[in-house]
Amino acid sequence: MQYVRLGNSGLEVSRICLGTLNFGSPAWRSWILDEEGARPLFRQAVELGINFFDTADTYSGGECEVVTGKLLAQFFPGSRREEAVIATKVFNPVDIAFEGDRAADFRRRPNKDGLGRKRILHAVDASLQRLGVDYIDLYQIHRFDPHTPLEESLEALHDVVKAGKVRYLGASSMWAWQFAKIQQLAREHGWSRCISMQNHYNLVYREEEREMIPLCQDQGVALLPWSPLARGFLAAQGDGAAASARAAADRTTQRFYGRPEDLATRARLHALAAEKGVSAATLAYAWLLHKGVTSPIVGASKPQQIEEAVRAASVTLTPQEIAQLDSGYAPRPVLGHS
């Protein structure tokens, strides 16, 4: 396993991050794995050298953090806790009821979501309790909050860092101007700045290359893309068969991906993967690593999927091969900011 610094910080993370959205309670989504189902995947990740784990308070209504914390305590016991990098997020409601793939009512009760001071201070303590840890390594803004003064949010986040509850701050999908404003206000006030951006980026969704990625690269902010396989679309066979139970049941996949241009990109990916003797998933991750990504957030329901992701760090792509994969991309509407 290769390890790199997270942005301009001193924090060392593996080139692959295990995303934990798949783990928690099947009552939240039919394809979610409970603690026993998740254990072999955590074991595989740790054995392969992964030390970076990403979750969120909203996943499985908080149960994902519980499962993640229990399993990391088993695989990083005692003094080994320092080796593990635990990332979680704040913004969405934790106890929200879901219907299929859409929230039943996103903002139905006061102070249960967003980035107000009350919400942040409560949320960080609740996440610490669910995870069973004394501190969170990377605390991320899950989405931009247009309803709360930004100064209020950033000062509260800085306070949880100074209180020792959080080591570093990060952010997730938003407009580049919003992230630039966050960083500038934090700089002006002497508050903690974000060292990472977890954005939507993969071979069939590259709109982030216009503004957000150049901004992050210029400012030394780590890129931690979510959905690196386009929710399984890129790993699916050419006939369109779903690569996983999640992909088969996930209506968001069907809304986000599947244009003729996407199908052509997937065909090029699979053809080049066959030439290089690797899986399409491995090649899709390798493409991201060659694009300056620090650590893609990998979702897995089988140990083999983690192996495929880790293998990507040893795959070399020539400029010609990258151009081959890049060719044919067509601009599309921005997806994933809300």
Instruction: Quote the domain boundaries for residue 31.
Output: 3-326
3-state secondary structure string, the chain?
A: CCEEECCCCCCEEECCEEECCCECCCCCCCCCECHHHHHHHHHHHHHCCCCEEECCCCHHHHHHHHHHHHHHHHHCCHHHHHHCEEEEEECCCCCCCEECCEECCCCCCCCCCCCCHHHHHHHHHHHHHHHCCCCEEEEEECCCCCCCCHHHHHHHHHHHHHCCCEEEEEEECCCHHHHHHHHHHHHHHCCCCEEEEECECECCECHHHCCHHHHHHHHCCEECCECCCCCCCCCCCCCCCCCCHHHHHCHHHHHHCCCHHHHHHHHHHHHHHHHHCCCHHHHHHHHHHHCCCCCCEECCCCHHHHHHHHHHHHCCCCHHHHHHHHCCCCCCCCCCCC
Model pTM? Answer: 0.92
The pLDDT assigned to 223 comes to 98
Residue 338 lies in a domain: no
CATH number at residue 231: 3.20.20.100
The pLDDT assigned to 81 comes to 95
Could you report the per-residue pLDDT of 23-66, keeping only the tens digit for each? Answer: 999 988 889 999 999 999 999 999 999 999 999 999 999 999 99
Residue 73 lies in a domain: yes
Residue 7 lies in a domain: yes
The pLDDT assigned to 101 comes to 47
Residue 44 lies in a domain: yes
| Catalytic-labelled residue, pool 3, 59, 139, 201 | 59
Show the low-confidence residues of the chain (pLDDT under 70): 96-108, 238-254
The pLDDT assigned to 245 comes to 62
Residue 333 lies in a domain: no
Residue 54 lies in a domain: yes
**What's the structural domain count of the chain?**
1
* Known catalytic membership, residue 59: yes
